[in-house]
Amino acid sequence: QVQLQVSGPGLVKPSQSLSLTCTVSGGSITTNDYYWTWIRQPPGKGMEWIGYIAYSGSTYYGPSLKSHTAISRDTSRNQFTLQLSSVTPEDTAVYYCARWRGDIQAYNSWGQGTQVTDSS
């Protein structure tokens, strides 16, 4: 059974960078047709799709965040990382990592979610 675990700071200073890591167990992040995705939910709002890194290593970002978002991976550790530069109060949210399976067109595995708050 694949499991995803998020780690990283819960409090970020304004203008600094946010870095969150999702560690995957029970499956490989290089498995064909899987997309490793970051999603967040700001307070009082719905889910916001951030972007993904695919099984191939290619990345794709949501248009509202792509200017200061980077997703990378470490295949030796079976991890993928979200980096968000120049953090503002608008970036305060609960952040999730998830697996989207292209073969069945569904998210079928989620991390626990972690609260990230801009210190300002």
Say how far apart CA 119 and CA 2 lie, in whole Å.
33
- DSSP label at residue 120: -
Give me the DSSP letters along 3-42.
EEEEES-SEE-TTS-EEEEEEEESS-TTSTTEEEEEEEE-
pLDDT at 10: 86
Burial call 62-91: b when 16+ CB within 10 Å, e when fewer? eeebeeebbbebeeeebbbbbebeebeeeb
Tens-digit pLDDT profile for residues 5-45 = 999 988 888 889 999 999 999 999 999 999 999 999 999 99
120, pLDDT greater than 80? no
Tens-digit pLDDT profile for residues 59-81 = 999 988 878 999 999 999 999 99
